[in-house]
Amino acid sequence: MNKIVVVGYGPAAHRFVETLARKGFAGAVTVIGEEPRPAYDRVALTSYLSGASAEDLTYPVPGGVVTRLGTRVTAVDRRARHVVTADGGVEPYDVLVLATGSAPFVPPVPGAGHAFVYRTIEDLDAIRAAAKDAAEGVVVGGGLLGLEAADALRGLGLRTHIVELSPWLMPRQVDEGGGAVLRSHIEGLGLSVHAGAGVEEVVADGGGRVTGLRTSGGTLIEAQVVVFSAGVRPRDELARACGLEVGERGGVVVDPGMRTSDPHVYAIGECALAGGTVYGLVGPCNTMAEVAADRITGGTAVFEGADLSTKLKLLGVEVAQFGAMSGALDVTYMDPVAGVYKKLFVSDDAGTLLGGICVGDAGPYSTLRPYVGKRLPASPSDLLFSGSGAALDLPDDAQVCSCNNVGAGEIRAAVADRGLRDVAAVKACTGAGTTCGSCVPMLKQLLEKSGVEVSRALCEHFTHSRAELFDIVRVRGVTTFSELIARHGQGRGCDICKPVVASILASLHNGHVLEGERAALQDTNDAFLANIQKNGTYSVVPRIPGGEITPDKLIVIGEVARDFGLYTKITGGQRIDLFGARVEQLPEIWRRLVDAGFESGHAYGKALRTVKSCVGSTWCRYGVQDSVGLAIALELRYRGLRSPHKLKSAVSGCARECAEARSKDFGVIATEQGWNLYVGGNGGFRPRHADLLATDLTTDELIRTIDRFLMFYIRTADRLQRTSAWLESLDGGLGRLREVIMEDSLGICADLDAQMEHHIATYADEWRATLDDPDKLARFVSFVNAPGVPDPSIVFSAERGQIRPVMAR
């Protein structure tokens, strides 16, 4: 077998070629896709309308795979073993894999050609363009994809209607009771639900512009955008045309090894009919892809069906379904005030779990789903309302991650054999939790049950975590390290706990970091209010908010650099860095900078570094908001804010994103309606794009949300934990963060607001305060016993007209 050709380049095709690469397949692999880009994450497609780029969603193409994008396959010649493309090309194969996916179902009603579907990035581009001139939209379909589309229209600012043929929403995932609770949630958001209604006509004017949708009951819903999201049909036309066996209702018939009626042709994903079922969820499609790759490379894997359990959050509502939706007995809980509905289906002796439904609170899902078909360790009612402990005794064959088909036994074995110590390591090793993430709470429980105990102790001197110490200092009013270690620790402290406590004290009390006892707590950089470099000199970084600077200030920086012989560089964060200052020169340099109106840029501290900006609407023809003005306001607001790790930010004046806001701890992108806020991004060793937290905020709403985000992070993050790692480790992730700082689920927002106001009110520039204090200035010497003598080991040479350090060999 020398050559594999894959027709279709969606997520299933990507998993297939990825698995081939992992297995070391040495033959040629060609993937032919109709879309103009490689496979991308369709589960996250809605995020494309709220700020994510196509590149953010796109999967990397495995090395060695040849792709032909924007190319449609029109025929398969099984006898000659080649496929024919629309441009007349011929691609030979030894093995053909059909991964053609599915197509949206559009009912044959008048005017349907004027409506949109919700399937590809191009579909979303068209919907976004149409929404600019629209006020109301209709989504036909109240299932999972329909509610995703409705959320997208709402996010585009349209008054949104949902039309569903069944008597309630999401009929494949919830029963009538759950549907009623779900409807109540959605209507509470301002959407209109028309359940039990079919579609009679998409109404358009003479120019083809949509004006409404008429339901089967005769109701006319005024709308300028209509989206059909009423299910999909497998794309099996190539298989039919070349004589492969297909099902009565569609789908390419495959055996348990994913082989079709032709032994040289396989089918995977949504186009395949496996065991009489066409699967439309990512988990089963991934499993099919892995089985096919295994068989083609000589393995014996089989596809034995799949878990169709679902846990998701639609329009802010948690919905989960697992196992069967009926049983001999059921246990139901409903709280219409809180909007919570839970139901378990069990055997006639109440000992075996058959399935369950959760709406409004999907907490029991992670614990109970692996028990489907198994004996329950406790009564159904106990599990429904507490449930967390039961998951600790999962049998090895219980599936924990349905997206990637990972069982409890596989996870336990990985933990034991490879010494895994945290969830991140389990995810990297087994793949569990890397797709939808709903099983992550279970991974934590399995780690604990396997005997893994990750100590929360900050160091040997404190048994508390950083977050716990923060609360102790805050609640008990501790103001010194000595008091804290005497009451809540032991010993004298170390290089780990001292800087952490110094940062906590600075975050809460905002005193000078070199004041009294605090001076002895600082690490090298904070001790001299400058970044130490490789040759023992220091860098000087004045704050330049938003990158905006006057000519006079530029001249001062140039004169200082010239007079002190410093190396000068423009940084990536729109600042000017001056390198090569000896420690005894720092006060002289800063006195001139402070007199010219500069203040510390805090490049040395675990604090806000910069808020980068483009030129925004003031100068740029694409800008829609004043990004420079906002960047300056944010940088001045949060300057000096001490945190567990450094903080970087940026503000872009339009969606072209010239300030690279999504690579920052918090980034802001302008929209025509206001500002989109992204959090948890960073560059560096492990780059991460920030997640979209909120859209179209007013400036006041934006600032309030950032205030709370920063203060909640400062309160709860671990030592030296970036916002990206903190957000990934936060139970509930972005949704939980949104609940805490935007919905005030913990009732702490007033405290967070007050903390930020205290910081702003008490901020003082550290270098100005240092220059006014002889005791602080006394520490800036190379040799304590010879204050005026420079360090003779510091030597420079010249390169490109500037100094560079000469290191001893």
Residue at 150: amino acid letter? A
Kind of pairing between the strands at 795-799 and 691-697: unpaired
pLDDT at residue number 210 = 96
Q: Which residue has the tokens 């106990």?
A: 382
- Averaged pLDDT for residues 737-766: 94
Residue 620 annotated as binding? yes
Same fold, 3-103+234-296 and 112-230: yes
Average pLDDT, the chain: 89
Does 358 count as an annotated binding residue?
Answer: no
- Give Cβ neighbours of residue 76 (< 8 Å, ≥ 6 apart): 7, 83, 84, 96, 238, 239, 241, 242, 265
- So what CATH class is 307-387? alpha beta
| Euclidean distance between CA atoms 400 and 432, whole angstroms | 8
Give the whole-angstrom CA distance, residue 377 versus residue 381. 12
> If you average pLDDT over residues 642-659, what whole number do you get?
94
Average pLDDT over residues 550-557: 95
- Mean pLDDT of the 188-209 span: 92
Judge residue 568's burial from the number of C-beta atoms within 10 Å of its C-beta, 0-12 exposed, 13-18 middle, 19 or more buried: middle
* pLDDT exceeds 60 at position 364: yes
Q: Indicate the class that CATH gives domain 394-454.
A: mainly alpha
285 annotated as ligand-binding: no
Average pLDDT over residues 741-745: 94
**Rounded distance, CA 707 to CA 758, Å?**
12
Non-local (6+) Cβ contacts of 672 within 8 A are 624
Q: For residue 768, what is the enclosing H or E element? A: helix 766-771
pLDDT higher at 448 or 427: 427
The pLDDT assigned to 760 comes to 96
Q: What is the mean pLDDT of residues 115-136?
A: 95
Which of these ranges, 272-281, 508-517, 754-763, has the smallest mean pLDDT? 508-517
* Mean pLDDT across 366-393: 70
State the architecture of 614-778 in CATH terms: 2-Layer Sandwich (3.30)
pLDDT exceeds cutoff 60 at 574? yes
Pick 758 or 779 by higher pLDDT.
758
Above 90 in pLDDT, residue 68?
yes
Residue 378: per-residue pLDDT:
77
CATH dotted code for 112-230: 3.50.50.60
| Nearest C-alpha neighbor of 631 from the set 704, 570, 547 | 547
* pLDDT score for 654: 93
The number of beta carbons lying within 10 Å of the beta carbon of residue 50 is 16
Residue 618: CB atoms within 10 A of its CB come to 13
* pLDDT score for 390: 42
What's the confidence (pLDDT) of residue 1? Answer: 59
pLDDT at position 788 is 67
Given this model, what pLDDT does residue 80 score? 96
User: pLDDT digit string (tens) for 579-628?
Assistant: 999 989 999 999 999 999 999 999 988 999 999 999 999 999 899 999 99
Q: What per-residue confidence (pLDDT) applies to 108?
A: 93
pLDDT digits (tens, 9 = 90+) for 144-177: 899 999 999 998 889 999 999 999 999 999 999 9
Residue 389 has pLDDT above 90, yes or no: no
Q: What is the CATH number of domain 3-103+234-296?
A: 3.50.50.60
The helix/strand count (H/E) of the chain reads as 26, 38
Q: Provide the 8-state DSSP code for 223.
A: -
pLDDT band at 391 (very low <50, low <70, confident <90, very high): very low
Query: With 0-12 CB in 10 A as exposed, 13-18 as middle and 19+ as buried, what is 425?
Result: middle
**785: confidence class by pLDDT, cuts 50, 70, 90:** low
Name residues whose C-beta falls within 8 Å of residue 132's C-beta, 6 or more positions apart in sequence: none
What's the mean pLDDT in 210-229?
A: 95
Query: Is 403 annotated as belonging to a binding site?
Result: no
What is the pLDDT averaged over residues 239-267? 97
Kindly report the number of other CB atoms within 10 A of residue 167's CB atom.
12
Q: In this predicted model, what pLDDT tens digit does every residue of 519-540 receive, in sequence order?
A: 778 776 787 888 888 777 889 9
User: Residue 297 pLDDT more than 80?
Assistant: yes
Domain boundaries, the chain: 3-103+234-296, 112-230, 307-387, 394-454, 466-522, 614-778
* Contacting residues for 24 by C-beta, under 8 A, at least 6 apart: none
Closest by CA position to 287, among listed 299, 279, 297: 279
